[in-house]
Amino acid sequence: MTSRRRPNERLRALMAEARLTGQELAGLVNRAGAEAGFRMHYDRTSVSHWLAGTHPRSPVPELLAEVISRALNRPVSLAEAGLRVARPTAGDHLGGPDPLAELSALWQARVRRAGVPYSLSALNVPSWPPLVPAQPRTAHDAPPPTAMEVVETAESLARVFSDCDRTLGGGSVRRALGGYLSHDLVPRMRDPGSPAVGRRLQAVGGHLVYLCGFMCFDDELHGLAQRHYRVALSLAAEIDDQAGYAITLREMSVQARLLGHHDEAVRLAEAAVITGKAVDPVRRAFLHGQLAVALAAVGDRARAMTSLAASERFLERATSTSAPLTGAYHLASLAHQEAAVRNLLGDTQRAASALALSIRYRPDSERRARAITLARLAELQLGHGHLDEAVSTWHKFLGDYPYLSSGRADTALAAMRALLRPHTRHAGVTALLRRAASNRQER
């Protein structure tokens, strides 16, 4: 005899507390699913099934708990929402028992394509200095003969992965980097052989984890990106790497702002600037530029322009010509952030001028950044009524697009097609869309 489903009264009570209808809850789940890299199309009928006792498959329970937590502004567990607890996934707490174990768990989540929701509560991270003292992992007094070779190989690969990401997009090598971290670097970081080797290995490992997070961000897998950033914070804290900690906070601010969590973006950017007071001028410019963008997103014009000016001053003080592994910043970056600030504050004409300047200064090796900047410039040009200019700029975007494996570039292409739909009778638009369709078939 089969047991009858029990209605989920806990979920119903939480919906009532949050004043959410079934359709509203479904829409929030779809949106949170998109942050995790899933295309979901739930509606009020789906919510009715959940309320009647149907247990949705992962990652829906985790997404439900997250969106209700956001609505109520307090943590809501799966059990509190009357949902089954899924099998364990990567941990949520910075400075947990073992960040390397969390990194391995993230790889397993990627392999089985498990959803990793983006969590607002996971943005609550300690300010510098770290709350947990460093715990050395080495068990040997002297390194084995090959220990330094392992470090030098990891440092060389970090350059290779960074170059591939900038030129081809995060999707080009994200899986390869994740596999290298999980199967090769993590075991070596657990037993480095000596404190000196361990520190260098953890420093480059932290950069690679941060880079893997950024690749997930570029592919619009925001839950995975966020978890990688938290691991990078833990690794930086363990070796007293303030620069790495500040830069990771900055990237978390970028992500939060993009996803519409503007207050959180400001808080993270401010923490990054405070933490990075002692870093080199290039990286201080990098941090202040993001603070300017975050402040503009909340409408704080005065502080946004002050932070933008600070970014420019720090960049002028820079003396080194070599780009660091993390926190690289140059005139093209500054112009791009000025464009974001101007656009958020409503000055779209100056935003377009700054984007054009950013494209002019952008190095040829940074194809992905150039492509996304071109797409944004075309959107502004179209908004100003300059259709022919926009079409010309989008043609330049399509020149870069076939080489890229990037979720953000794919989104830019989809936006182009949608924005041009009302103009399909224009001969130039027809040719552009035909070229776009040809590019998609070639990939």
Q: Which of 169, 213, 115, 174 is nearest to 410 (CA)?
A: 169
Tell me the HSE value of 186 on the side-chain side, using a 13 A CA sphere: 20
Lowest mean pLDDT among 9-18, 141-150, 224-233: 141-150
Q: How far is CA 78 from the centre of its chain?
A: 25
pLDDT at 139: 47
Task: Decide if 115 contacts 59 (C-beta within 8 A).
Answer: yes
pLDDT digits (tens, 9 = 90+) for 124-175: 888 776 654 445 454 445 555 567 888 889 999 999 999 999 999 999 899 9
Does residue 342 register a pLDDT over 60?
Answer: yes
| More confident position, 163 or 59 | 163
pLDDT band for 90, please (50, 70, 90 cuts): very low
Residue 83 near residue 77 (C-beta atoms within 8 A): no
The answer to whether residue 195 scores a pLDDT higher than 60 is yes
86 or 214, which is more confident: 214
pLDDT at 117 over 90: no
User: In this predicted structure, what is the pLDDT of residue 138?
Assistant: 47
In this model, does residue 93 exceed pLDDT 50? Answer: no
How many residues can be counted in the chain?
443
What are the strands, taking DSSP E only, across 289-341? none
- 261 falls in which pLDDT band (50, 70, 90)? very high
Which range has the worst mean pLDDT, 106-115, 119-128, 209-218? Answer: 106-115
**pLDDT for residue 3 is more than 60:** no
In eight-state DSSP terms, residue 194 is: S
Domains located in the chain, CATH noted: 9-72 (1.10.260), 377-443 (no CATH)
